[in-house]
Amino acid sequence: MIIGDTDLTPYGPSSGGSTTAPSISPAVRDAAEKMKKKLISAGGAILKSEENNVIYKDGVVASKTNDKISLEEIVKNVQSDFITHGSREENLEGYITQTFGAQFAEVEVDTLLGNVTVKRIVAAHDIGRILNRQTLENQFHGGIIQGLGFALMEERIMDEDYGKVLNQNMHDYKIPTMLETPDIDIIIVGDGDEKANNMGVKGIGEPAMIPTAGAIANAVYNAIGVRIKSLPITPDKILTALNSNN
């Protein structure tokens, strides 16, 4: 595999809309299945066995007479490169495949200072087949933390006369740190979606982020009884809303 060199790899679309895994993995699987057939065919030829009498398992090609050859030996014996091309199949007609989920937030609000502390976020999503649990959870955590920043901290301040961003550095543009990150519980709903693609995979990049701010805002409303209708939910907005309600 060649990674990270655009001079050597074919053109690909941008990564967005939570479509990377459900777009790329089916093509990779297609190419891998074709490669598997080539290796079985080559192994059968080396073992002098008909291709339909050969099986592949755990990196070894074996004939019904129990002759075996490893993939490494097959590649060494064949004086040519093994090359395959894979592609993603078309979407099934009449179906729209999406990721669905729900998120919940537990917050504490200091009504004297207006500070909001998010204690816990629970995210339950139907994301299809899990390819890698660790990277999946990393995406959940990353999206949720971004949503937390959107809800409570991130605010672009503009000079309206000159069109200049006034807080264009990491000192003045606030984002969450480990100190603000709450406990995060992840619940995977369902299994592979056979109508999505040959891998049953769906995306989780944006879906983990999008509901987070709404869940936090609703939790703040349930805590103080006043709805904050603009983001980020900052202490001044909390105190103004509480004083106005009184």
Report helix, strand or coil for 60: strand
DSSP state, residue 88 = P
Whether this model's pTM surpasses 0.85: no
What pLDDT is attached to residue 241? 93
Between CA 70 and CA 133 the distance in angstroms is 30
Task: Kindly report the CATH number that applies to the domain delimited by 100-245.
Answer: 3.30.365.10
What tens-digit pLDDT sequence spans the chain (246 residues)?
Answer: 667 777 877 776 777 788 888 988 999 999 999 999 998 888 888 888 888 888 888 888 998 877 888 988 888 888 778 889 999 999 889 988 889 999 999 999 999 999 999 999 999 999 999 999 999 999 999 999 999 999 999 999 999 999 999 999 988 999 999 999 999 999 999 888 889 999 999 989 899 999 999 999 999 999 999 999 999 999 999 999 999 876
Domain borders along the chain are 20-77, 100-245
What pLDDT is attached to residue 170? 86
Question: How do residues 21-40 score in pLDDT, each as one tens digit?
Answer: 898 899 999 999 999 999 88
Does residue 232 contact residue 150 with C-beta atoms inside 8 Å? yes
H or E stretch covering 236: helix 235-245
Between CA 156 and CA 168 the distance in angstroms is 8
What pLDDT is attached to residue 166? 95
Between CA 155 and CA 9 the distance in angstroms is 38
